[in-house]
Amino acid sequence: MDAFAGSPLGWLCVGVTVLFGVTVLYMTKRNLVEKADVLVWRLLPALLGLLCVATLGTGRGLVVFCTSCLISCVYLGGRALLPVGDKAVLITGSDTGIGHALAKYLDNLGFMVFAGVLNKDGPGAEKLRRTCSQRLSLLQLDITNATQVKEAYLKVSEKVQNTGLWGVVNNAGILGFPADGELLPMSMYRQCMEVNFFGAVEVSKTFLPLLRKSQGRLVNVSSMAGGIPLPRYAAYGASKAALSMFSGVMRQELSKWGIKVAAIHPSGFRTGIEGTSSLWDKQIKELMENLPAHTRQDYGEDYLLGLKSYFLHMPAYCNADLSPVLNAVLHALLAKRPHGLYTPGKGAYMSLCIFCYFPLWFYDFVIGKMMTTESVPRALRTSESESKNL
């Protein structure tokens, strides 16, 4: 300890630590960083570094000190958020679910929110009028309608004028009818692509001039099904995978303009996207009427009814708390160094890791166990019965 006290490098380390701590406190006041994070990731590593200098000697202790500070700086640099200020954000699909909750969340934080809704006179829009501040503006916005997208652009650009639009959150989407890919009509594939992909592309391309003005953020709400293959999500997953790939390409291309792009891959959350029982009855009826006779015979009507029962019970296994998704979108909008991909929710990141780093047979086995249903196509039940008889 005496050797440390008399060492010039030791005292230099002390001086740097003090300066470091003062800087941290200054940054805390200017950024939306939790004080606990500052203590753990800035001050504590610095103090541990000093302790290492005292116990390991000046040379090795200084290396540990610098390394710990570097790690904490990188970590906190990614968590530090920009001030909200007068930032304006457009959100599509704000009638219900994630878009509705996000509009209220960002409005409460002080953003100027443009909430695009499919029905400006619907209950979701009315609830936003009643519960949000006067900063929030409702826009009639069917993202598959090019005229409505253009009109929304003119209204937003008139309000933000020279400051530009800070963020666009492409949230609007549909689930369709989750069933085996062979059973889904081509109209379902086209509808999912039209809303989940082409609509988001249309909105992004239309509003990019306003994002360039502010060097803002483009955030695309994809899905866990957009990053990994999931049974019975062929139409939905394909459209979300297209959106995720679009996000990745735009992240690369728009970086030269100072625009940051992020994709959100939530796992199962209770948003109401699965629809109602009456809607499912209608879709199953249409599905059965349009299936070829041999396909209908092989699968059987009871198989489709089993799928309906399974998916109508899925919300019970989904998280009703949307805060992980809202926090991910907020980080994508305000972080100095936002991530290119966010995986909020239980199992989203783990499933992606298994798909990327494990053999495909292992991934298929795991997902098969997770997504299994009691329903089995009629032809397979017949084959199994014949095999047992033999």
Residues 269 and 157 in one domain: yes
Looking up residue 186, the CATH number of its domain turns out to be: 3.40.50.720
Residues 34 and 104 in one domain: no
Give the tens place of pLDDT for each residue, 243-283: 999 999 999 999 999 999 999 999 877 666 655 666 677 77
Number of domain units in the chain: 2
Residues 72 and 94 in one domain: no
What is the predicted pLDDT for the residue at 267? Answer: 84
Question: What's the domain range around 313?
Answer: 88-371
Alpha-carbon span 98 to 130, nearest angstrom: 18
Residues 215 and 353 in one domain: yes
Residues 185 and 324 in one domain: yes
Give the tens place of pLDDT for each residue, 27-70: 544 444 444 455 555 566 666 666 666 666 666 666 666 666 66
C-alpha distances (whole Å) from 298 to each of 232, 233, 291 are 17, 20, 11
What is the predicted pLDDT for the residue at 36? Answer: 46
Q: Are 138 and 117 in contact (CB under 8 A)?
A: yes
What is the predicted pLDDT for the residue at 385? Answer: 55
Structural domain includes residue 377: no
Structural domain includes residue 176: yes
Side by side, the strands of the sheet bearing 167-170 are 137-140, 112-117, 88-91, 167-170, 217-221, 260-264, 341-342
Structural domain includes residue 386: no
DSSP letter (8 states) at residue 96: S
Residues 114 and 243 in one domain: yes
| Lookup result for tokens 């500052």 | 38
Residues 72 and 92 in one domain: no
What is the predicted pLDDT for the residue at 322? Answer: 87
Residues 132 and 242 in one domain: yes
Q: Which of 79, 108, 125 is the last residue of a domain?
A: 79
Residues 210 and 351 in one domain: yes
What is the predicted pLDDT for the residue at 34? Answer: 44
Structural domain includes residue 388: no
What is the predicted pLDDT for the residue at 50? Answer: 64
Among residues 164, 141, 138, 137, the alpha carbon closest in space to that of 151 is found at 141
pTM of the model: 0.78
What is the mean pLDDT for each group of 10 consecutive residues in the chain (390 residues)? 53 63 54 47 61 63 63 57 93 94 96 96 95 96 97 96 93 88 91 97 98 96 93 94 97 97 87 64 75 85 74 67 92 96 89 91 88 73 57
Catalytically active residues, by annotation: 236
CA angle 11–14–15, rounded 5-degree value: 90
DSSP letter (8 states) at residue 206: H
